[in-house]
């Protein structure tokens, strides 16, 4: 396929040399804004010194030169210091013909590069919630986009399966659970364990209040409450390998893993490798001890181990407590090293919220100071938190929006709206169920992923499921509309007829706009991969679908007297559907054939 941008750059450089004796090696061209006529825009202000003329006259001269000397420049117009160039229809038709011949259009060339992407990484003391949903959808989509850009991807998570927070759930179940299990209660395993995490917090607050009433300061009461002392004792027993505690830990974590698996299946995401904090924290402790011996770390009089990063503009960070127990940083050191030993990776991306920005700055510096060359290729994909109209979520208080409940609500709402709009007529019950799941999950995923990852966002479930506007269901409905059109074309035998894009010589405005969007797709995939931003894909797809709907509404598909026009528009529709399907697939969203 012709690299139109590079070729046009070369022609503009020739024009500047011919007109003004100006020697330049490269220049920047922009896509013409939607409210102006043109395809590519040259900003002429940097060349006024050489032309010794005003911006409009300079633009006019360059435009006339290009129209005369460059075969694919059909026309131009000048808006102050902006030269808008119109590319000939033959070029767009040639590009469309090449798109049709390109297998797996939009996917980049295979690169000898392997990237590990970490996402989800939950604690085993509670179910996944809305905050996890953004993390998981973002990590999964970034993985798929990088894969489409030509990289090999390893999807992974670190499961935080040990620590005081895990022991809180265990202790509460031990005291108040009366032996209940997911099977005996019918409650999903992760939710059952999460209920006891909330129960612990409720009892803990009661004990704190009681101790304060007895005269203790609140800070001291929090430290001396019998229930927190018991949880700490349980953690020590776990680290010492106490058989009873370890057995309880394995049993309750097993319930949680079963629950997580069900949630991931509904969400449509997967992992190739799982890591567990209970395994990697020991390696982390060993590495910290080695770093201490090398002088990378320092030990305080109380026996705790720290790293001093004040020279880097940060502060001191603890790595081992005075009693020898590890912290999150210790575990993350061990996990990173274990991963580098397990896989020949060229980079590692951590999908973690922006409240952990400081943590990852410190982690990456520590790994570099320990002498690991691969530490130069670690990246924190930092994203903003998700808010709800009702306010902030708190796991301990049980005020989180459960991921399973949220997904079911989306699916139920999709069912309700689809039935109201009459979009399920003639479908079997199985087809209806699949559609509700497709639309509900598509609405959720698209609403979250269309927002730039760096931005904090407000998730409004009611707004996400709308068949109009920048939503998943709007895009899904357009795909279904195109598929319906193609079924008619197949029935009429039109898809069997020979088609050559070059036989269609004159494009309507909406046709050329649609082709321009299709041409952009491979570049959009590459930009999204470079920026690690599914929002690039989401908003491109919305623009593509809007362009298709304008085309669909303004031009007849089957009733045009010119058969070549009919065939062209059918194939243009088919290619649009293919790009929509692939683009939405990069967001983890499936699109329906009927709706």
Q: Are 85 and 9 in contact (CB under 8 A)?
A: no
pLDDT tens sequence across 352-405: 999 999 999 999 999 999 999 999 999 999 999 888 776 544 444 445 688 999
The pLDDT value recorded for residue 399 is 53
Q: Which residues contact 157 (CB under 8 A, 6 or more apart)?
A: 118, 119, 120, 121, 122, 271, 274, 275
Of 75, 79, 84, 5, residue with least CA distance to 38: 84
Tell whether domain 403-586 is in CATH 3.40.50.2300: no
Give the C-alpha separation, 211 to 202, whole Å.
Answer: 15
pLDDT tens sequence across 309-365: 999 999 999 999 898 888 889 999 999 999 999 999 999 999 999 999 999 999 999
pLDDT tens sequence across 395-425: 444 456 889 999 999 999 999 988 888 878 8
Q: Does position 531 have pLDDT exceeding 60, yes or no?
A: yes
The pLDDT value recorded for residue 595 is 85
The pLDDT value recorded for residue 165 is 92
**Superfamily of domain 114-196+240-387, CATH level 4:** HUPs (3.40.50.620)
**What average pLDDT score do residues 453-467 get?**
87
Mean per-residue pLDDT over the chain, rounded: 93
The pLDDT value recorded for residue 393 is 43
Q: Is the sign of the CA dihedral 490, 493, 496, 501 positive or negative?
A: negative
Q: Which helix (H) or strand (E) holds 281?
A: helix 277-294
Calculate the CA 106 to chain-centre distance. Answer: 18
Backbone angles phi, psi at 157, to 5 degrees: -150, 155
pLDDT tens sequence across 55-71: 999 999 999 999 999 99
Of 411, 521, 390, 407, residue with least CA distance to 458: 390
Extract the tokens encoding 289.
């001890």
**What average pLDDT score do residues 129-136 get?**
93
Residue with tokens 């012709």: 2
Extract the tokens encoding 232.
């700490």
Give the 3-state secondary structure percentages of the chain, helix then strand then coil, rounded to 5. 60, 10, 30
Return the domain boundaries, the chain: 4-87, 114-196+240-387, 403-586
Q: Which residues contact 505 (CB under 8 A, 6 or more apart)?
A: 89, 90, 93
Give the C-alpha separation, 197 to 172, whole Å.
Answer: 7
Q: Does position 21 have pLDDT exceeding 50, yes or no?
A: yes
DSSP 129: B
Backbone angles phi, psi at 170, to 5 degrees: -60, -45
Q: Are 287 and 333 in contact (CB under 8 A)?
A: yes
Residues of the chain with pLDDT > 90: what percent? 83
Q: How is domain 4-87 classified at the architecture level of CATH? A: 2-Layer Sandwich (3.30)
Which letter, b or e, does each residue of 371-395 get, where b requires 16 or more Cβ atoms within 10 Å of its Cβ? Answer: ebebbeebebbbbbebeeeeeebeb
Q: Does position 505 have pLDDT exceeding 90, yes or no?
A: no
Give the C-alpha separation, 63 to 84, whole Å.
Answer: 8
Q: Is the sign of the CA dihedral 254, 255, 260, 266 positive or negative?
A: positive
pLDDT tens sequence across 70-83: 999 999 999 988 99
């Amino acid at each position: 396929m012709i690299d139109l941008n590079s070729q046009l750059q070369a022609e503009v450089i020739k024009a500047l040399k011919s007109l003004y004796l100006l020697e330049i090696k490269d220049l920047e061209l922009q896509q013409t804004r939607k409210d102006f006529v043109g395809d590519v825009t040259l900003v002429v202000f940097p060349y006024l010194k050489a032309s010794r003329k005003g911006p409009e006259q300079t633009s006019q001269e360059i435009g006339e030169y290009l129209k005369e000397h460059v075969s694919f420049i059909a026309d131009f117009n000048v808006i102050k210091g902006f030269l808008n160039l119109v590319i000939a229809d033959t070029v767009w038709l040639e590009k469309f013909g090449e798109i049709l011949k390109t297998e797996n259009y939009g996917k980049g060339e295979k690169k000898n590069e392997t990237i590990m992407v970490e996402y989800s990484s939950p604690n085993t003391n509670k179910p996944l919630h809305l905050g996890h949903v953004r993390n998981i959808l973002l990590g999964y989509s970034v993985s798929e986009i990088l894969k489409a850009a030509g990289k090999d991807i390893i999807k992974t998570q670190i499961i935080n399966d040990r620590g005081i927070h895990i022991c809180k759930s265990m202790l509460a179940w031990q005291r108040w659970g009366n032996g209940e299990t997911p099977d005996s209660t019918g409650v999903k395993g992760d939710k059952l364990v999460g209920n006891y995490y909330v129960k612990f917090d409720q009892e803990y607050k009661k004990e704190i209040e009681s101790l304060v009433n007895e005269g203790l300061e609140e800070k001291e009461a929090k430290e001396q409450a019998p229930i927190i002392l018991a949880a700490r004792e349980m953690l020590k027993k776990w680290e010492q390998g106490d058989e009873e505690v370890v057995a309880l830990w394995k049993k309750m974590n097993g319930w949680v893993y079963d629950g997580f698996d069900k949630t991931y299946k509904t969400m449509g995401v997967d992992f190739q490798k799982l890591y567990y904090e209970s395994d990697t924290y020991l390696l982390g402790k060993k590495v910290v001890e080695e770093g201490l011996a090398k002088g990378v770390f320092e030990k305080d009089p109380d026996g705790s181990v720290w790293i001093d990063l004040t020279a880097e503009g940060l502060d001191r960070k603890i790595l081992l407590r005075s009693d020898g127990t590890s912290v999150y940083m210790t575990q993350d050191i061990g996990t990173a090293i274990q991963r580098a030993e397990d896989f020949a990776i060229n980079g590692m991306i951590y999908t973690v919220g922006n409240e952990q920005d400081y943590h990852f700055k410190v982690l990456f510096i520590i790994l570099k100071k320990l002498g690991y060359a691969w530490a130069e290729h670690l990246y924190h994909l930092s994203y903003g938190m998700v808010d709800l109209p009702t306010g902030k979520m708190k796991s301990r208080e049980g005020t989180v929006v459960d991921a399973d409940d949220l997904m079911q609500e989306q699916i139920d709402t999709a069912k309700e709206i689809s039935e109201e709009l009459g979009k399920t007529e003639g479908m079997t019950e199985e087809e209806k169920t699949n559609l509700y799941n497709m639309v509900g999950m598509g609405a959720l995923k698209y609403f979250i992923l269309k927002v730039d990852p760096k931005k904090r966002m407000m998730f409004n479930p009611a707004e996400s499921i709308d068949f109009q506007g920048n939503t998943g269901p709007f895009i899904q409905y357009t795909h279904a509309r195109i598929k319906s059109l193609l079924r008619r074309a197949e029935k009429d035998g039109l898809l069997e007829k020979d088609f050559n894009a070059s036989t269609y010589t004159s494009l309507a405005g909406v046709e050329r706009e649609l082709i321009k969007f299709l041409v952009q797709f491979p570049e959009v995939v590459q930009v999204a991969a470079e920026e690690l931003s599914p929002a690039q894909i989401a908003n491109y797809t919305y623009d593509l679908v809007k362009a298709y709907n304008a085309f669909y509404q303004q031009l007849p598909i089957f009733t045009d007297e010119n058969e070549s026009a009919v065939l062209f528009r059918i194939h243009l529709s088919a290619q649009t559907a293919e790009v929509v399907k692939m683009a939405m697939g990069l967001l983890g969203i499936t699109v329906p054939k009927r709706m």
